[in-house]
A and B are shown apart, each in its own frame.
Chain A
């Protein structure tokens, strides 16, 4: 665990609220990012992030330091996001969310100043395909690949966050990538 986290967590456990404020500031964006990638729903990111920090604050006294603080916090974020997905039993609503997501993506692609309209269109189509493929992955595979690719955790950290054996993480990441490549294959051939 980073030294600063260790000190701040120890202070929190002694009742220092300001120390927890600093932890919020440090991890807030990362938690937003993680929740957004798992739920794919921008409308609930802030609400779920607040839940995560509140849960962390309420249970920080039980944190023993056997794992790193950020993997512990990510675990709360992953569990909160997955229970939100289960609760919502997404389905139809997710299509709308992806449209919103793609709208934001289009803005990003437009801002790339791609001169050739055909190339711009191709990039947009590919992005749509990629986001759709990621969304279609089962939750466990998607969470594993999100933690690896977007959050940058290593396999051991992912195992801690997901509370599964290391072998399961390896297998999930391998399967997630294989499925993504299968789903993207038609597009790759076309291009």
Chain B
């Protein structure tokens, strides 16, 4: 039999829910199946973690010393049952209000600014958004000013070559002018033509 069929049985086995023939069949399989034995171990470990988490968390610190009379009074004073403020015995009411006020203000600010109990996580909470904002701002800035150019996107423009005719009175008989327009900022009005002279004499 395939072990995946025994998955639910393993869960029921650790909860003592298997009985009779079902239990016998499962135990026969379990004694020979290393995978299911590991599964039993894994589930027991998970249950141990959950029990540990339960004891770590405990139960919130609540008074709980109200009785039926308090509940009936509360019912009379409030029609809405769900979400209503818990009724506290008269003797505890004043102290409870004070506690609530002070813990609310300090706790709210702390939880808002530093929601995690771990300093590293609180730092990450601010570091990542700041990094993203920085990258986006830089991108917009460079797009607007053109100070950051992606050289891979530049298209080389053709080089104009002109041979000027020989004119009378010129000191130079012949020269070739190369006008390179290979400037990325050409569209932004900052044309700085690069002129290279390659001179030579025809004579």
A interface residues (Cβ-Cβ under 8 A, vs B): 17, 20-21, 24, 28-29, 32-33, 36-37, 42, 44-51, 53-55, 57, 80, 83-84, 87-88, 95-96, 99-106, 108-109, 124, 126-127, 130-131, 134, 145, 148-150, 154-155, 170-171, 173-174, 177-178, 180-181, 184
> Which of B62, B72, B75, B116 is within 8 Å of A46, CB to CB?
B62
Known: A46-B62, A96-B115. A54 touches B15 (CB 8 A): no
Instruction: List, in ascending order, chain B residues with CB within 8 A of A33's CB.
Output: 59
Given A21-B67, A99-B111, A148-B15; A45-B82 close (CB under 8 Å): no
| A51 CB, nearest partner CB in chain B, Å | 5
Known: A32-B59, A150-B50. A50 touches B115 (CB 8 A): no
Decide if B15 touches A99 in the complex (CB within 8 Å).
no
The reply on B64 being an interface residue by CB < 8 A is: yes
Count of chain B residues with a beta carbon within 8 Å of a chain A beta carbon: 46
Q: Which residues of A contact B166 (CB under 8 A)?
A: none
Main secondary structure of the interface of A (DSSP, over half): helix
Contact between A174 and B11, CB atoms less than 8 A apart: yes
Is B170 at the interface (CB under 8 A from chain A)?
A: no
Selected from B50, B60, B116, the residue in CB contact (under 8 A) with A104 is B60
B176 CB to nearest A CB, Å: 69
User: Chain A nearest CB: distance from B74 CB in Å?
Assistant: 7
Q: Is B49 an interface residue (CB 8 A)?
A: yes
Whether B67 pairs with A50 at a CB distance below 8 angstroms is no
- CB-nearest residue of chain B relative to A57? B68
Within 8 A of A (CB), among B68-92: 68-72, 74-75, 81-87
- From B8, B74, B82, give the contact of A84 (CB < 8 A): B82
**Within 8 Å of chain A (Cβ to Cβ): is B146?**
no
Q: Tell me whether B54 is interfacial, beta carbon within 8 Å.
A: yes
Our pick among A32, A46, A155 for the contact of B15 (Cβ within 8 Å) is: A155
Q: Tell me whether A105 and B11 are in contact (CB under 8 A).
A: no
Which residues of B are found within 8 Å of A180, using beta-carbon distances? 46, 50
Check A178 against B7 for contact (C-beta < 8 Å).
yes
In contact, A101 and B57 (Cβ under 8 angstroms): yes
Known contacts A36-B60, A46-B62, A50-B74; 13 further A-B pairs (Cβ under 8 A): A24-B68, A36-B57, A42-B62, A46-B63, A49-B86, A51-B81, A54-B71, A54-B81, A84-B83, A104-B60, A127-B53, A177-B11, A181-B43
Q: How far is the CB of A38 from chain B (nearest CB, A)?
A: 13
Say whether B66 faces chain A, with CB atoms less than 8 Å apart.
yes
Residue of B nearest to A131 (CB): B53
* Contact flags B32-59 to A (C-beta < 8 A → 1, else 0): 0000000000110011011101111111
Q: How far is the CA of A20 from the CA of B72 in the complex (A)?
A: 12
What are the 6 tightest A-B residue pairs by CB atom distance, in nearest-first order? A42-B60, A46-B86, A47-B86, A174-B11, A108-B56, A174-B8
Find A45's partner among B7, B47, B60 (CB 8 Å cutoff).
Answer: B60
List 6 A-B residue pairs with CB atoms under 8 Å apart, sorted by A's residue number. A17-B68, A28-B64, A50-B66, A108-B56, A174-B7, A174-B11
* Chain A residue at smallest Cβ distance from B14: A177
Q: Interface centre among B43, B53, B56, B62, by most A CB within 10 Å?
A: B56
Which residue of chain B has its CB nearest to the CB of A23? Answer: B68
**Distance to closest chain B CB from A124 (angstroms):** 7
Contacts of B85 in A (CB 8 A): 47
Interface residue? B93 (CB, 8 A): no
A102 to chain B minimum Cβ distance, whole angstroms, is 6
Residue in B15, B43, B57, B66 whose beta carbon sits within 8 Å of that of A108 in the complex = B57
A173 near B15 with CB under 8 A, answer yes
